[in-house]
Homo-oligomer: A and B are copies of this chain.
Amino acid sequence: MPSNNDHHPPRGRAGMREVADRAGVAMSSVSRVLSGHPDVSPQMRVTVLKAVDEIGYRPDMLAQGLRSRRTLSIGFTVSEIANPVMSGIVTGAEKRLRAAGYSLLLTDSEGNPDLDVEQIHLLEQRRVDGLVLALADEHHPGTVRALQELDLPVVLLDRDVPAGVDARVARFDHYEGMSAATSHLLDLGHRNFALIVGGPRLPARERRRGVDETLERSGTGATCTVFDGEFSSRFGSQAVAEMMGASVCPTAIIAGGNLLMEGALRELHRRNVRVGAELSFVGCDDVALAELHDPPIAVVDRDVQAIGAAAADLLLTRLADRGDEDDPRAMDWHTDVQDVVLPTHFVRRASCAPAPTPR
């Protein structure tokens, strides 16, 4: 029987194998003892615990050994808890996961990718069975590394999958809704656009692409100034302040995100700019602010509960694929389940009006 001669005590599954060999029992027996399975004889328990000690299998690994037992909890990292649609997404995911017997543990990254990395490790240590990640920045090197090293099924929410990462994705087709909004503004005669986007993430990139390519395809010669910053209400206000100070003011503003919309509208109010008269405006997400604004704000809307449910379903499929966790061969969840793309759609409202005739 091989024994462990390394200076460092063994960790993880490698350590479990050593324990099994030393005790002369099957790995599934080691797993049963460490996970507190009720059908274990006292003799087996003594044998395994003795081997655990003799081999120097770290006691803090006992907790990790418990990992093989499902905890029926799922971790969900939220990029910005201030994002008003996040509650809908979480609710959509939670209902679906709860129906399958899972609880949800949430963390907030405050838009900071370094915190994403911390939260992923925190949730992993808390032995969640899987992760839904609305990352602050999916291409942040630390995040990519954490994802590559992760030994859990993962679903990314509205993000690209970085190279070398095994994850499924539930995302929106931001391009389509933004393209429709841009076409509508072009039809109303607008040729001078401003676009506010925020966050180094898929939604910002796709929203921008939707506006840029639609303007280019139109052959109208319309121009667009892009304000690209952090995804926050503050940046929305700041972008409007900047564009209003420029020599040529846009006739149409598109705010590519709900917090950016909120900030932009706040600054327009402060300047007494009459939206829908002096200036056309398109926002994102049909939140109460857009719906009850005077005039109502045209938005690119989406079903946020549906994406939460879709992310949950993808994760549940991957978890089901794990099969019997006592059998190491069944621990592979890298199956071919398809990513999900949900539509966005443009809601026309009085905040969009014909462009003023050129002076």
Contact = CB atoms under 8 A, between A and B. Distances in A.
Contact of A110 (B91, B108, B288): B91
Contact of A269 (B34, B71, B73, B292): B292
B87 A60 contact: no
Interface of A: 33-36, 40, 42, 45-46, 49-50, 52-53, 56, 58-60, 62-63, 66, 71, 73, 80-82, 84, 86-88, 90-91, 94, 103-108, 110, 118-119, 122, 125-127, 233, 262, 265-266, 269, 288-289, 291-294
A36 B63 CA distance: 10
Contacts of A110: 91, 94
Contact of A108 (B46, B50, B66, B104): B104
Contacts of A107: 103-106
A60 B91 CA distance: 31
Contacts of A266: 288, 291-292
30 contacts: A33-B59, A35-B59, A35-B60, A36-B58, A40-B59, A45-B59, A46-B50, A46-B53, A49-B52, A62-B66, A63-B66, A80-B87, A81-B86, A82-B88, A84-B84, A87-B108, A90-B108, A103-B118, A105-B106, A105-B107, A126-B127, A262-B288, A262-B292, A266-B288, A266-B291, A269-B292, A288-B289, A289-B292, A292-B293, A293-B293
A105 B91 contact: no
Contacts of A293: 292-294
A89 to B, nearest CB: 10
A53 B59 contact: no
Nearest to A52: B49
A190 B233 CA distance: 36
DSSP class of A's interface residues: helix, strand, loop or mixed?
helix
B84 A105 contact: no
Nearest to A103: B122
B59 A34 contact: yes
Number of copies of chain A assembled together: 2
Nearest to A42: B53
Nearest to A46: B53
4 nearest interchain CB pairs?
A36-B60, A36-B59, A106-B106, A294-B294
Contact of A289 (B73, B118, B289): B289
Given A265-B292, A289-B288, A105 B122 contact: yes
A108 B92 CA distance: 12
Nearest to A269: B292
Contacts of A84: 84
A60 B71 CA distance: 12
A232 to B, nearest CB: 12
Contacts of A49: 49-50, 52-53
Contacts of A265: 288, 292
Contacts of A262: 288, 292
Contacts of A288: 233, 262, 265-266, 289
User: A71, A81, A118, A265: which has the most chain B beta carbons within 10 Å?
Assistant: A81
A86 B42 CA distance: 49
A118 B105 CA distance: 12
Given A36-B58, A45-B59, 7 more contacts: A40-B59, A71-B125, A73-B126, A82-B88, A105-B106, A106-B108, A293-B294
Nearest to A119: B103
Contacts of A233: 288
